[in-house]
Amino acid sequence: MKLILLGAPGAGKGTQAEIICDKYNIPAFSTGNILREAVKNETETGLKAKEYMDAGALVPDEVVIAVIRERLEEPDAQAGFILDGVPRTVAQAEALEQMGVDISRVININVSDEDIVKRLSGRRVCETCGASYHTIYKPSKQPNICDRCNGRLIVRKDDEPSTILARLKTYHEQTEPLIEFYRKRGKLAEVEGAEDLSETTARVAKVLEALE
Ligand code: AP5
């Protein structure tokens, strides 16, 4: 199973990726997580990516394509994977095709801009393991403590209100065209990202059952 999760920032790609990973035992590759780790460790990639990420802009294609090419060559990627947050431009999607990656399905999670702002402003992430929570829709059992690893929950730097709007603008201009790109290839499945998290999960599960 080789899946792509598409959707605006905060549509729930990371949340659904975690659930699919656990159910199907395949790894999820989030370019956002990989790049945040690179920024934290001040690697060459991290130094190139930081200013774009802080501004809510996309990291240049050549940087992201190199990151994902390297990740897809790892042994754990051979049996299947979920791509969360990549591709995000037509150039990235074309690069995947040139690498010979045969995608089974592209799931686009639809959420209105208004709901995106609500979601991102309530999001909390674990600074240790990266697990994602929401103050209302997916609270942790103990306030500000990760259920998985007891790490501290923090607000992501790019979830500040002005950066959220910049990320949405970037999404509409550069990533939304991918919906048509994959529709034309007969790969697209559309899912409404309902306010109830379990409902979105059930809709995604239906798409995946059709692939089994
Ligand atoms: P990245 O980390 O990929 O961020 P994003 O796409 O903006 O996506 P998010 O992680 O913010 O949201 P999500 O859809 O995973 O939502 P989540 O599940 O957390 O990228 C960050 C930056 O890195 C980019 O801005 C860019 O600079 C750079 N970058 C990354 N990839 C790149 C690429 N390919 N090319 C170039 N640059 C790249 O959910 C959000 C919240 O809502 C959570 O709190 C969750 O609990 C809640 N929630 C989820 N689902 C539901 C639901 N159904 N109902 C109610 N609440 C829900």
Which of 3, 6, 15, 45 has most ligand 1 atoms within 8 Å of its beta carbon, as the pocket-test mutant? 15
- What's the Cα-to-Cα distance from 61 to each of 11, 16, 43, rounded to whole Å? 22, 25, 17
| pLDDT tens-digit series, residues 9-65 | 999 999 999 999 999 999 999 999 999 999 999 999 999 999 999 999 999 999 999
Model pLDDT, residue 211: 86
**Helix (H/G/I), strand (E/B), else coil: 194:** coil
Are 92 and 61 spatial neighbours (Cβ–Cβ below 8 Å)? yes
Write down how long the chain is. 212
Whether 88 is catalytic is: yes
Distance of CA 164 to the CA centre of its chain: 15
| pLDDT tens-digit series, residues 77-136 | 998 999 999 999 999 999 999 999 999 999 999 999 999 999 999 999 999 998 899 999
Helical ranges in the chain per DSSP H: 13-24, 31-40, 44-55, 61-72, 90-98, 113-122, 161-170, 177-184, 197-209
pTM score, whole prediction: 0.93
Is 8 touching ligand 1 by the criterion CB < 6 Å?
no
